[in-house]
Amino acid sequence: MAATAVSEAKAVFASVMPHSNAPIAKPKPHFVAAAAHRGNSPAVVQLGAYGSPNRVLAAWNGTAAKYGALKAYVPMSAKFVSAKGIFYRLSVRGFGSDAEARNVCMSLRRQGGSCFVRNSSGDQPVHYAMR
């Protein structure tokens, strides 16, 4: 997954550099989410918190690959400032209710994942947060 992110970064860098002889690569989508669930609940399932926005994207790609059911939801990110520094949360949304979010989180935990349910707080879609 890290190699993919590095390749994408090199392609983007090459495409915007003046006088670059590098071929312009088509950018790959930041994530693929079926987003079959489009509930309006404010509940989100937080999957992790990272020190940079780039780590959020890498974490989403790895987590979605490992737990395919998450691809049915929309990945989100939110910047969080704490006494320990700035962190970027990775969450998924699109639940019909708080109970649905809790059920998804419990299922993820049974498979060895880590998560908790919280209400959305300034979360933005991952592809927007990565700009």
Please give the pLDDT value at position 122: 74
Q: Do 129 and 88 touch, CB atoms closer than 8 A?
A: yes
Model pTM score: 0.67
How many CB atoms within 10 Å of residue 56?
27
Cα of first residue to Cα of last residue in the chain, in angstroms, is: 19
Specify the domain boundaries for CATH 3.30.70.1070 within the chain: 31-129
For domain 31-129, the CATH class is alpha beta
DSSP E strands, the chain: 43-50, 74-82, 85-93, 116-119, 124-125
User: pLDDT tens digits, the chain, 131 residues: what are they?
Assistant: 445 544 454 444 344 334 444 444 444 434 444 445 578 899 999 999 999 999 999 999 999 999 999 999 999 999 989 899 999 999 999 999 999 999 999 999 999 999 999 998 777 777 533 43
Tell me the CA distances in angstroms from 116 to 1, 32, 106, one per residue in order. 24, 22, 9
